Amino acid sequence: MWFLEFAFLTLSLVFTPGVGVHVSIDRGGSPPDSSKIDRIIAALTPEEKISLLHGANYAGSENYAGYLTGVPRLGIPPLQLADGEAGINGVQDATAIPSQINVAATWSRLMAKTAGHVTGLEARLLKAGISLAPRVNLLRDPFDGSSWQSYSEDAYLNAQLGAEAVRGIQAEGTMANTKQIGPSSSGASGGDTNSQVDLQYQELMNLTVRGDFGFKGIVMSDWGATHSTAPSIEAGLNWEMGSAAYYTTPLYDDVYLYHNLSEIYVDRSLRQIFSTYDRFGLIGQNRTALDMVPNPLPQSVIEQSAAISFDIASRSGVLLKNDDEVLPLSKDISKLAVIGPAAFQYNHGAGFAERAYGIPSRLKSPLEAIQQITGNDHILTSNGVDVHGSIIPADCLVQDNGQHGLLRTDSAGKTSVDSQINFSGESALLGNSSYHWAGFFKANETGYYRISLHRRFPHVGGGLNNSDYLGVFYVHSFTVNGTEFDGFRLLGDGGARPWSSPLAAPDGWDEVGTDVYLTAGLHNITVSVTKVFGDPVEVRLNWVTPTQREQNMRDAERIVSSVEVPVVFAHANSPADVGMQLIHGFDELITRIAAINPRTVVVLNNADPVLMPWLDQVSSVLWMGNPGQEGGRATASLLFGDRNPQGRLTITYPKSVNDTVTRNPKYPERMATKNGTAIFSEGINSAYRWYLATNTSVLFPFGYGLSYTSFKYSKLVIKKKSGSTFQVSVDIKNTGSRPGVEVPQIYIGPPEDAGSKFPGYQFAISTLVGFDDVYIMPGTTKTASFIISERQLSFWRQSDRTWVLAHGQRSVWVGTDAEKKVFVSYIEV
């Protein structure tokens, strides 16, 4: 597996996803037949050569994120590329496995590989040759909104899990695509390193990726991230994706018309592409585009994938707090309150696609799963926070001329006045036009309002070629006092599903909403709805007023005083509507519920870290992240003790925004400035290392998680093996009454006197070098063993591009998280 270690160690150096490049990884299959590849390249026409170096569209199906043409006469097949970070995103239904941050929370290499198997298998069955996964970017900024898409804030953890994901995907015959190379910072244009565009940066592409690590596979751009022709192909970029602006006519003209660029670069790129194709047995396949229209998944695969997804989701739950052992709940509990809209609906997670929505028959809510466990007669329910609202009444909508209603304008410029925006069924608007409304709405009181726009989408399945996929980005939007809120795009991302918010409207309509503070009076509002597929336009404009908001909370308060335990489900979008905060209203709701009943349990569905101002008031907190289609069942199984929480956090939860690495006001350079530049001045002490290096206390550290059982560590042994490799072992006993999984973590400190011994080099204050997930029965002891490699004890010397062993004494410790040291010892390197 000559490339696997390189791929993940290098890509995990990236800080937060943005516009970058992706790498399609060799699965370690049969070596390519170079003579066969040379013959194919020689037989290609110039036009065919250029056609193979960029993404395209084709008649017959627009199922996935991308498409690559083939040359059937030479046995070069076309390929489809599908988003796959949490299942395959396409027109056909696919399994919504837990998001990558959930997979990482298991701290299990096996779970990462198993998730990869689901992705690879379903991609192949759904006719996608490349899965755009896994994403191994480091999570740096808690406002970025990318936490659900990646694994963690740690390079080693990302590397280990990413490698296993690739093995799983590619074992099923699907090419994996790790992403992304090149740093970016939230709000920046992305794709630049040291003022060099990544895709044409020789240091990054040729010297590092192709040189130091000997990568011989395919490098593709992110969608729209190619910014040049000759510099990019000279640097080693194989595929321009999402733009077709540089590797099309400009490349043909440079090579074959003006002779400004040698054909050697084109042939080199094709050789790398075909070599990868050949390793996957693709050369010689004569299928056409129409042969790649997917059929529904077999039922046996749906059931198998669902069982795997449930297992991962259950293992990923992180128990953050459990005072007085309120959890697990008794199945014989006399009276239980279940509060929060995420308890009553499938929560698909972030308001963004690039993953599967889920098999419709499997989308069970947590409440349904709880009812199956406990019965229905003793469960009291309340929304507490209404994120959906009701139709804005006619007497609260006003035109510019002061008359009631909003002015509607269609695509032809025809105008009319609507008393409300509420069109469905027989009142639906004609589907051959887009529509725009403008005017004012009247706030009768001062306070927070939730405004939401709902749109019914057709569920499109099977083969489809519709220009709406390519011509429509935002399918609907609205503005309040000039601030715009967008619904989700189509753009070939697998039909039309309700992606715009973590929770669709109760009837399955797509919903985009926001919470705004308004003074009593008139406020400008506009609504825009784009035609899709020619279907009748069904749309409604809703709100929740301050009075209704307060009534919802009082309804929740009324039921919690009479129950044993209230369970509050709280969620956030990703990125959060307000950075590091739950959707507006949940913090207040939890505080008010806990004041009445201190045995309150909070279930969190979020990816990016959130603040918890109510933490000291509640008894228990269970983080479930974005657990996918089986998340309702998994949540219930953890709440009632059918499964024992074993998850551990993979990102630090700071105590405040100002404490974070990127949003600390002392370091404004760490976020992108107006010119798009961000300076990673924290250096190697990023993520949890930053909090340790600055003695900044946190809410929950990296690696943290509790269990329903207890563990005791003993007998730390460190032995020097061959060279400068060390073996670390520790015994762990389950001292509780339940089977459970413990996650021992091995960290090393910097070399003693590193500043004087190695001037000019920075060493991390703490580095994760080993971990395992160890299943232990009650009363039994298991030994966990780890290897600290010579590479992990070395530093990179750029002047001669070598790894240098850092001699001297170093501390080694076993911890249960990044801050809690159980045993500390030392090694001499």
Q: Averaging pLDDT over each range in 10-24, 529-543, 749-763, which range is the top one?
A: 749-763
Confidence of residue 459 (pLDDT cuts 50, 70, 90): low
Place 457 in a pLDDT band, splitting at 50, 70 and 90: confident
As a whole number, the mean pLDDT across the chain is 89
Does the domain spanning 390-548 belong to CATH 2.40.50.140? no
Query: Closest Cα partner for 89 from 395, 433, 356?
Result: 356
Task: Give yes or no for a cis peptide into 798 (omega within 30° of 0).
Answer: no
| Residue 442 pLDDT | 97
Residue 736 buriedness (CB in 10 A; 0-12 / 13-18 / 19+): middle
Q: What is the model's pLDDT at position 458?
A: 67
More confident call, 644 vs 678: 644
In Å, how far are 314, 324, 381, 395 from 620, measured between CA atoms? 17, 9, 19, 45
Query: pLDDT, tens digit, for every residue of 8-49?
Result: 222 222 222 233 445 554 444 566 788 999 999 999 999 999
pLDDT by residue (tens digit) across 98-136? 999 999 999 999 999 999 999 999 999 999 999 999 999
Among the four given CATH numbers 3.90.79.10, 2.60.40.420, 3.40.50.1700, 2.40.10.120, the one describing domain 308-349+361-383+553-670 = 3.40.50.1700
DSSP output for 729-773: EEEEEE-SSS-EEE--EEEE-PPTTHHHHSTT----S-EEEEE--
- Percent of the chain scoring above 90 in pLDDT: 76
Q: Please enumerate in sequence order all residues whose Cβ is within 8 A of that of 356, keeping only pairs 6 or more positions apart, or say none.
A: 86, 87, 88, 89, 93, 94, 95, 96, 97, 122, 629
Between 144 and 30, residue with greater pLDDT: 144
Name, in order, each residue with C-beta under 8 angstroms of 79's C-beta and a sequence gap of 6 or more. Answer: 67, 68, 70, 129, 130, 282
pLDDT tens digit string along 167-217? 999 999 999 999 888 765 433 223 555 545 567 888 888 888 888 888 888
The pLDDT of 759-778, averaged and rounded, is: 97
Sign of the alpha-carbon dihedral angle for 557, 560, 565, 569: negative
Taking the CA of residue 213 as centre, how many other CA atoms within 13 Å lie in the half-sphere pointing to its CB? 22
Q: Is the pLDDT of residue 284 over 80?
A: yes
pLDDT digits (tens, 9 = 90+) for 290-311: 677 788 999 999 999 999 999 9
Asked if the model's pLDDT at residue 418 lies above 50, the reply is yes
CA distance 439 to 399: 5
Domain ranges of the chain: 4-183+204-292, 308-349+361-383+553-670, 390-548, 701-828
Give the pLDDT confidence score for residue 9 in this predicted structure.
23
Report the candidate in 682, 660, 659, 678 with the shortest Cα–Cα distance to residue 669: 678
4-183+204-292 belongs to which homologous superfamily?
A: Glycoside hydrolase, family 3, N-terminal domain (3.20.20.300)
Residue 8 vs residue 425, higher pLDDT: 425
pLDDT in tens, 371-405: 999 987 789 999 999 999 999 999 999 999 999 99
Rounded Cα distance, 404 and 419, in Å: 6
Inter-CA distances, 339 with 212, 599, 742, Å: 54, 14, 31
What global pTM score does this model have?
Answer: 0.94
pLDDT confidence of residue 19:
34
Q: Read off the amino acid at residue 386.
A: D
Among candidates 527, 63, 42, which has minimal Cα distance to 290? 63
**Spatial distance between the Cα atoms of 396 and 752, rounded to a whole number of angstroms:** 70
- Please say whether the beta carbons of 570 and 340 come within 8 A: yes
Tell me the CATH architecture of domain 701-828.
Answer: Sandwich (2.60)
